[in-house]
Amino acid sequence: MGVFKTCMKIVKCHRINFLVYLLLFLSLCTGMAFLTKNPAETDFEQERPAFAVVNRDRETPLVRGFETYLDEKGTLLKLSGQEKELEDALFYQEAACILLIPEGFSDSWERGEQIPLETARSQDVAAAAYLEGAAEQYWSQAAALRALAPESSQEEIAGKTLEILSQETLVETVKDSGPQVSETYEAYVRLEGYTMMVLVILLVCQVQLTFQRPEIRMRNQMSPLPSAGFTGRLMLHGAVMSLGVWALLTLMGLVIFHGQIQGLDPRAVLLLAAAGFCLMLVSLAVAELVAALTKNRSGDTLDMAANFISLGMGFLSGIFVPLELLGEGIRTAAQVTPTYWYARGVEEIFALTSFEQSHLWPIFGYLGIMAAFAAALGAVAFLIAKTKSSGEESYAQVSTERRRV
């Protein structure tokens, strides 16, 4: 109990370092929650880009029907057709597209010859392509009706074309059974991996390195408490601190993004918490390994080591950058890091559409890989610490015998 209290005093002395990381992460996530719109709000509103039709040919029912059809897709501007006026309309983006009907167009169309329309675009390429596609659709439909009924007049073809193109199909979108949450919460869960690793490494290593000072270690070796018991109490403190970090970050996400995760299945929340727990075990093992290998006990060195490890794993494994944006070679190399499997597990959990066993086995596999990483790294850290402790105990025993002689 005395060892645990001493550990808590050490944590309290260095609380500023821990609070800086925690508050930065909290402020970042709070800003993400309030500044980002919920993607569940997907109301669709059709855009009506402005356009102009310049007829250099004679006025025909087909041309009038063409203007009527395009007016349903956009906003028709009346332009005189002068070159300067057309250039100004495109330059100042008053019109996204100008369609010019060349001279002799109607006569050629009646003979079955198709003269392409002349088009001029503004910088809004997407809107111009949309209008050009609508124009192509109108004249293609009119040509198909003319081929089916060559004896029909232009009035009949124009009316039938508008009737066919005005038909609509009602489409109803239904959300699937998967979790409907904002991308900001998924980003939070990814960044939680980096923050958790930094905080756990700092919390555990700061305490471990403090007890590794020569004068403190020699004093502890003279105490009646066995070395194994003392080490066990240190590990217990590290486990308690790591559990606290995991619980705090998990609850922070649920509270900050409460309004954006209402559609998230509780089973998905449990899976995300399990993924975070496995990463917490990995972070604890990494912290023990860093403490066993580090000789420099300065705070700056510890901060640098914690950030180097956490940032390196984060950038390499998909915590900061989505996995699909990484190259094939980077994804292959990242598989040797536990954070890669954390990112894969989070990605699979948010992509779940059902909770059948076949969909859950890959996620359990990723969690198992992280647990295996934690066990392996923890075993290496334990062996290194045991070797160092045995060497120091032997040295202390020899020194004591020499003093007696």
Q: Flag the least confident range among 42-51, 58-67, 287-296.
A: 42-51
Q: Which of 25-34, 154-163, 171-180, 199-208 ranks highest by mean pLDDT?
A: 154-163
- Domains of the chain, earliest start first: 2-39+183-404 (no CATH), 50-165 (3.40.1710.10)
- From the number of C-beta atoms within 10 Å of its C-beta (0-12, 13-18, 19+), residue 142 rates as buried
* pLDDT score of 403 more than 50: no
Alpha carbons 167 and 297: distance in angstroms, whole number: 76
The band of 368, judged by pLDDT with boundaries at 50, 70 and 90, is very high
Q: How do 97-101 and 118-121 pair as beta strands?
A: antiparallel
pLDDT at 217: 62
Q: How many CB atoms lie within 10 A of CB 236?
A: 13
Q: Tell me the C-alpha distance between 120 and 109, whole Å.
A: 22
| Helix, strand, coil in percent for the chain, rounding step 5 | 70, 5, 25
Mean pLDDT across the stretch 57-76? 87
Please give the torsion angle defined by the CA atoms of residues 386, 390, 391 and 393, in that order, rounded to the nearest 10 degrees.
140
- Is the pLDDT at 396 greater than 70, yes or no? no
Provide the pLDDT for residue 365: 93
DSSP H or E run through 72: helix 61-73
Q: What is the pLDDT of residues 103-125, one digit of tens each?
A: 888 888 877 777 788 888 888 78
For residue 207, what pLDDT is reported?
A: 76
pLDDT in tens, 161-183: 888 888 877 776 665 544 455 67
Q: Give yes or no for residue 281 having a pLDDT over 50.
A: yes
Cβ 315 vs Cβ 29: under 8 Å? no
Tell me which amino acid residue 372 is. A
CA-to-CA dists, residue 273 to 192, 243, 248, 345, 404, angstroms: 11, 12, 11, 11, 57
pLDDT at site 373: 92
Mean pLDDT taken over the chain? 78
* 318-349 pLDDT tens trace: 777 777 777 777 778 888 888 888 988 988 88
76 DSSP β-pair partners: 51
Instruction: Give 237-270 pLDDT, tens digit per residue.
Output: 778 888 988 998 899 888 888 877 777 788 888 9
